[in-house]
Chain A
Amino acid sequence: MKKFINDPADVVAQSLRGLAAAHPELRVEVEEGYIVRAGAPQPGKVALVSGGGSGHEPLHGGFVGPGMLDAACPGEVFTSPVPDQILAATKAADGGAGVVHIVKNYTGDVMNFQLAGELAGEEGISVETVLVDDDVAVEDSTWTAGRRGTGATLLVEKITGARAEEGGKLGEVAALGREVNAASGSFAYALTAVTTPAAGRPGFDLPADEIEAGVGIHGEPGRRREKWRPAKELVRSALDAILTAKSFSGPVIVLVNGLGATPLIELYLIYGEVAAHLEERGVTIARQLVGNYVTSLDMAGMSVTLCQATDEMIRLWDAPVRTPGLRWGA
């Protein structure tokens, strides 16, 4: 395994130290394990806290800042954060108006946030949880862990972040987050497996002409293995999966997201195919974002996310945001 690290056991903390040095507008508590806006808490503002395993950067730490998250708590690589650090981040962010936990639907994330939420409640902080489960590759069923949270996390964080910034109340911000999630669907393909620093070897072997369809963002194999196909066909299949699982009629926000090692030249090519296919199907695109945002270390792969957007969502999408990973209007 070759990576730019010193010690596999200390990657997250050392990376956080670099993040702290690079972004003085953030307060990074390396020992306690959270990142919060330098001026937090903001009295009277509903605070947004997210988190999850590390290795998905810029998600979540790179989305802390005006117009998006108030705090983020990164766990070890691909490992949900522990309740203590979620609690610490929640307390650091809480400005008295309550805290929204934005949680990707993974058993570990759900349980750790739940435990932290209970602890926060005991300390008198009102916590609402928004669960993100947009990955249509996984069947939605109450008998299983349900769908994973992937690309839509960015949309939920951006849109609720804007609403919280302009004074949205706790219940309203959380409801909006759930609405964005419900309106979103994602599908991903991987071309390569990923090597976590701790494991030191790829999670699976993938022959030179095969790809994984329906992968998540933790280096796990996908729902099925397929032969490589041209981008046009992969995009068509991904959009089929999304449009079958969720019905879209109005304008959509599109995220073409790289899983880490897919270059922009390919991501833009993919976006071109997405735009062409959606036009064919009569789905109009209101807004779009192309880049590496919700990643899986250095996995070569991509996900497409569609969110059927209301006018309000689009207005909030356009609102200023100033974070290391996403920035406009400010």
Chain B
Amino acid sequence: MATIERRSPVAFPVRAVRSTKIGHWTVVQQYTNEGEGPWLIDLSHHPRWDLQDADIRRCKPFPVNVPVDPGTCTLDRGLLVNRMNRTQCSIWHLLGDTPQPPADPVCTETTDATALMALAGGKVFAITEKLTNLDLTDPGPKPPFLLQGPFCHVACQLVIAQRRDLDGTLLLACSRGYGQDMAHAILQAGEEFDLRPAGEDQWRNLLKQIQNERSERF
């Protein structure tokens, strides 16, 4: 009998060591030979929403604040809220659980609209500069911040979550249909830096780091 499964648009050409079930998703915790980084991590199973309203600052579908300026982000209790323009935010749930979807009609669930990946570790921005002419190392904005623009020719949302010189963590969301080719292009560009696919465990560690770093700063 056909099983009910949710599938990511991204499949890595490596063997999984350990996986868990989250809802109908099979999430790989760890792949073989993940190496020391940089890593490419598929986060497509993390729930995401689109929030739009003429007066967006008044919206509170989640108990977190909407960032004030377009291009800025807030990361609070595992929810990353990215201000896209005057009336719109994307919201990415980055923890491992499944939160209750908001009932507010200003929210649209968009988990399946995009592929979401994290590119993290050493020399991450040496990899990205091979794929985009967007300036991800601009010292101006402080992470986390959002850039919307072409990455490997495809319109993407890029969140620079943390950054130290060429090292750091980048979250990338592109149209789901492009997910497979995008992952392939990134892996190919990262070959010279020993970029390898990694699982959710690695992501947990990274998220902890990012959150600690942020609490230190504030």
Co-assembled chains A and B: no
